[in-house]
Amino acid sequence: MAKPFLKWAGGKTSLLPELLRAAPDEIETYYEPFVGGGALFFALQAAGRFKRAVLSDSNRELINAYAQVRDNVDGLVRALSVHQRKYRESEDRAEYYYTIRGKKLTCSLGGAANLIFLNKTCYNGLYRVNSKGWFNVPHGRYVNPTICDEGNLRAASEALQGVELRVADFADGPRLAGAGDFVYFDPPYVPLSETAYFTSYTAKEFGMVEQERLARTAAELAERGSRVALSNSGHPEVKSMYSSEVFKLEEVHAKRAINSDAKKRGPVREYLIQSIVNSPFKASSA
């Protein structure tokens, strides 16, 4: 089975058993509007549980990476192999890293190779950009990182064949979803504290106004008959945004590996939110 080819903050590999239980056994179209590392997509694809899939994100460089894996895996493998050789042979790996980081990420084969290289060699595998959209994560401390995982890249490419990729706002990505479809939202989380999470996946921050718009979007999709699931933090505000008439909230514990303090990398309580099947929907509840 293909695995995520990028390490992504909030990645869902540790929660796959819970997420797979939340997903219908048979899905017409699977939508994932915050695709990130795509752990649930790859698991559902391997299990043959959807007929088609639409993956989207507002991060153009991320969607470009998926497109290059899908459409140009041979070229991507060659480019990453060059990065891997040069990085491992470099007398000053940090200098090589910052040279690549100093190049603006572009929607091209080279841009995808640079993004994956930075993801594999930066601090904690973090993706973060500043207000101008420049990648700004410092160099990591990995001894011998695998920059070109050719086997997994080829497996991911095969899994992505026929998948529609979109650069889109989370509300636009699944705009055509209806009965028989499944939509999974994995947004930047409502922070439990000022330093608990970051939301700088793109140059635009994801604050409470966006969180509330997401809750309304999810409710509208449920009203149209789509099955909807969301992940978010265990913050009380999250619970208050999702109506008990439309959604049920389950507490789950996810392992978090991205934290500047290694002692704080461990299980974190969060919510798995699911639309209630055949629930009478009241528009005022959103």
Reported as a single tens digit per residue, the pLDDT across 84-94 is 999 999 999 99
**What's the token pair of residue 186?**
């994995």
Q: What is the phi/psi pair of residue 182, to 5°?
A: -130, 130
CATH number for region 13-58+168-285? 3.40.50.150
> Region 186-199: what's the mean pLDDT?
74
- Options 1.10.287.110, 1.10.1020.10, 2.30.22.10, 3.40.190.10; CATH for 66-140+147-155 is 1.10.1020.10
Q: Residue 66 and residue 107: Cα distance in Å, rounded?
A: 11
- Confidence bin at 283 (pLDDT 50/70/90): very low
Q: What is the phi/psi pair of residue 32, to 5°?
A: -135, 95
**What's the token pair of residue 138?**
């410092």
Q: Residue 232 and residue 271: Cα distance in Å, rounded?
A: 5
Residues of CATH 3.40.50.150 domain(s) within the chain?
A: 13-58+168-285
Q: Residue 96 and residue 77: Cα distance in Å, rounded?
A: 19
Compute the chain's Rg from CA coordinates. Answer: 19
- C-alpha 235: how far from chain center: 20
> Region 226-252: what's the mean pLDDT?
94
- Express each pLDDT in 112-156 by its tens digit: 999 999 999 999 988 988 888 899 999 998 999 999 999 999 999
> Region 9-35: what's the mean pLDDT?
94
Residues of CATH 1.10.1020.10 domain(s) within the chain?
A: 66-140+147-155
- Confidence bin at 277 (pLDDT 50/70/90): confident
